[in-house]
Amino acid sequence: MNNKILKPQNHLNTTKKKEVDNDMLNFSNTGDASKKYTIVDLFSGVGGLSLGFQQENFKLLLASDIDEKVEETFRKNHPNIPFFKKDIKQLKKKELNQILRNKKVDVLVGGVPCQSFSMAGNRIRTNIDNNLDERHFLFKEFMRIAKILKPKIAIIENVKGILSSHGGKIKETILKDFEKLGYVVDYKILNAADYGVPQLRERVLFVANRINRKNLFPNITHSPERYISVGEALKNIPELNHNLRELSGITLKRVKLIKQGKNWQSLPKELQTKSVHSGAYGRLNSKKPSKTIMTRFDTPTVGYVIHPIEHRTLTVREGARIQTFPDNFEFVGNTSSQNRQVGNAVPPRLSNAIAKQIKLMLN
């Protein structure tokens, strides 16, 4: 694969309208618009989790992440919101008081780094023991800040692997830590496609509250027969962050032979490739949701990242569409960094469905 920029094509377009002709990117605001609850976003990435809350009229007081390019993207899209770009261990009570100026925090959210819990990480490639991986214990920093801020509701989002990590001990520790802080906590596995995201993305959500409420999880809005497809999601792609990359050589030869919904296993034997990813060289099916968007979706060997029709991988903007970021949300940095920012994010449409239920709890 080389870096030649291709002229964008819109083979999936069926209309000249600039807007997406489905409701994928429309977020309705519920409840009393004059009532603004507050939120703090830890391990925020570019802010996908808190964005869905902002679309429900929550006021974001602070976001924090250690990645420099993430900070640039966040500030580009949220120029007036404080951003703490340091190791979260350095975010002490003094810094929080200075930034928040004694404002009360209603909701604390965090997408704790998940690579060490994910089967897409090193565990699938080697027999490395992750017992000493400090990312396993970053949720402790979330708990430390929850103890300082005392939010009414606290939310942790992560991959499913966290439930079985260390024989389930990580999950049990999270539950016990919340209970020690006086919270009632529940967790549930959510599939983003059930809430209007054109992607089969399963994540676990921990919801904890100390306001004597039943913990609410989002109501399913899309049954499998009503899932939003990749074909719908990739219509009328704008030019922002939409630079196409040309494939060449044997990579292009392979891609041209792969039909929708198929992968490297459908290739002639002489063109097949050995890969730890069973979905390598996978072409998306325009009539179905995407597989989970990862952090290297411009690389054919990582999974189902080939465009349904064109002989290329997804662009940053197409990945952002599948993640349900608004079309005016701009990603900053080189392509590799932008892909990582998109792939690590919580789909805003999913977080919006979560926010609706959290607002009901607070109301």
49, 114, 153, 233: the active-site residue:
114
Q: Among candidates 134, 73, 124, 155, which has minimal Cα distance to 362?
A: 155
**Do strands 59-64 and 38-42 pair parallel, antiparallel, or not at all (unpaired)?**
parallel
Q: Among candidates 17, 85, 74, which has minimal Cα distance to 50?
A: 74
How many angstroms separate the CA atoms of 199 and 226, rounded?
A: 12
Q: Among candidates 119, 52, 107, which has minimal Cα distance to 346?
A: 52
Structure tokens, 127: 């027999």
Contacts of 188 (CB under 8 A, 6+ apart): 204, 205, 207, 217
Q: Among candidates 50, 53, 55, 49, which has minimal Cα distance to 27?
A: 55
| Catalytic (active site) residue 114 | yes
64 burial (CB, 10 Å; 0-12 / 13-18 / 19+) is: buried
Q: Among candidates 40, 43, 353, 44, which has minimal Cα distance to 201?
A: 353
Helical (H) or strand (E) element with 339:
helix 335-344
Contacts of 96 (CB under 8 A, 6+ apart): 62, 145, 148, 149
Counting other chains too, the contacts that 127-132 makes at CB distance below 8 Å and 24 or more residues apart are 131/166
Query: 105 near 36, Cβ under 8 Å?
Result: no
How many angstroms separate the CA atoms of 140 and 306, rounded?
A: 38
Query: 82 near 62, Cβ under 8 Å?
Result: yes
Task: Detail the DSSP E strand segments found in 14-87.
Answer: 38-42, 59-64, 83-84
How many angstroms separate the CA atoms of 71 and 337, rounded?
A: 12
Q: Which residues are catalytic?
A: 114
